[in-house]
Amino acid sequence: MLSLIAAIAVVLPLSACSGGETADSDATSAAAESNARPVRIAINPWVGYEASAAVVSYLLKTQLGRKVETKKMTEEEAWKGFEEGTVDVIIENWGREAEKKEYIDQKKVAVSAGTNGNVGVIGWYVPQWMVEKYPDITDYRNLNKYANLFKTSKSGDQGQVLDGDPSFVTNDQALVKNLNLNYKVVYSGSEDALIAAAKRATRNKTPLLMYFYEPQWLFTQLKLVKVNLPPYAIGCDASPQKVKCDYPPYLLDKIVSADFAKNGGAAYEFIRNFSWSNDNQNAVANDMVNNRLTGEQAAKKWVEANKIVWQDWIPR
């Protein structure tokens, strides 16, 4: 009997040890598989995002030896990619509280990787020349007085508020309705179209009221002035249909898939460490748009000149 008990005592620890090794082996295997495939970064449709993604991709390749796969998609598509297993990283997220609740809190397929250092501002803007000619035009309560100035063939008898891509974060339809403004929201279709409209309005001194945002390289070339909508207060935009306040300031953040956070290793640590300024982003974006550099060329130029900024992003 004593011999049997002794034999069992020897077998049990060995079995427990074997189970632990299997779990460790599975975790190691998952991490190895994750590190073997490319880091998949969603590319949302504005150049500031592309600038951030270009620098992140360049450093992942050159400093961490990782392959990178990028895919252009809307913000909604990028979030769905976490659930579908096709996206690892959103490098610049603007709010998206509904998606955070769905994909982070409820479905648990994504996690926050912290802020990326950029401070986002969304609002309505007019060219500088309009403020000089109509000094009170930046008060939203005076916009109806100037509605005729902003009429276009697309807005009919109402003034036009020019928006960008319909997928962008926007409360403009609700703002027009709830602030009783005699305006119609018209979608230009893209960031490029907004930029072209701003340049034309500045060059030709034609009226323009447009949705726009910072960080944006365009502000380094011409002056746009933000219209003062009713001040933002916490909770004033809780109901999208009832919004009648300005956009909140955005501390832009990074979102990654739960699997990437668990198994991404040094690449995940690098993404979590990534943080730069609006000026950094604008410099890269400006090179991409106005100096005709590719994303990789612009990233390489910035990386070579700014080691003091990015060296702390690299995991030790």
pLDDT at 168: 87
Domain boundaries, the chain: 39-117+251-313, 120-242
Whether 39-117+251-313 shares its CATH topology with 120-242 is answered yes
Q: Would you say residue 177 has pLDDT above 80?
A: yes
Question: Percentage of the chain surpassing pLDDT 70?
Answer: 89
Please give the average per-residue pLDDT across 242-271, as a whole number.
96
Of the pLDDT bands very low, low, confident and very high (cuts 50, 70, 90), residue 20 is: low
Domain 120-242 has CATH 3.40.190.100: yes
pLDDT at 31: 53
Distances (CA, A) of 239 to 10, 97, 102, 182, 314: 64, 12, 17, 22, 41
Please give the average per-residue pLDDT across 169-175, as a whole number.
94
pLDDT at 316: 86
What is d(CA 270, CA 39) in angstroms, rounded to the nearest whole number? 12
- Mean pLDDT of the residues in the chain: 90
Q: Return the CATH superfamily for domain 39-117+251-313.
A: Periplasmic binding protein-like II (3.40.190.10)
pLDDT at 24: 54
The pLDDT tens digits for 57-108 are 999 999 999 999 999 999 999 999 999 999 999 999 998 989 999 999 999 9
pLDDT at 10: 39
Please give the average per-residue pLDDT across 114-138, as a whole number.
97
pLDDT at 160: 98
Predicted TM-score of the model (pTM): 0.80
Please check whether residue 12 is in contact with residue 6, taking contact to mean a CB–CB distance below 8 angstroms. no
Backbone Cα Rg of the chain = 25
Please give the average per-residue pLDDT across 134-147, as a whole number.
97
Query: In 169-287, which ranges are E strands?
Result: 183-187, 210-214, 224-226, 250-257
H helices then E strands: how many in the chain? 12, 9
pLDDT at 33: 58
Which tokens belong to 253?
């953040």
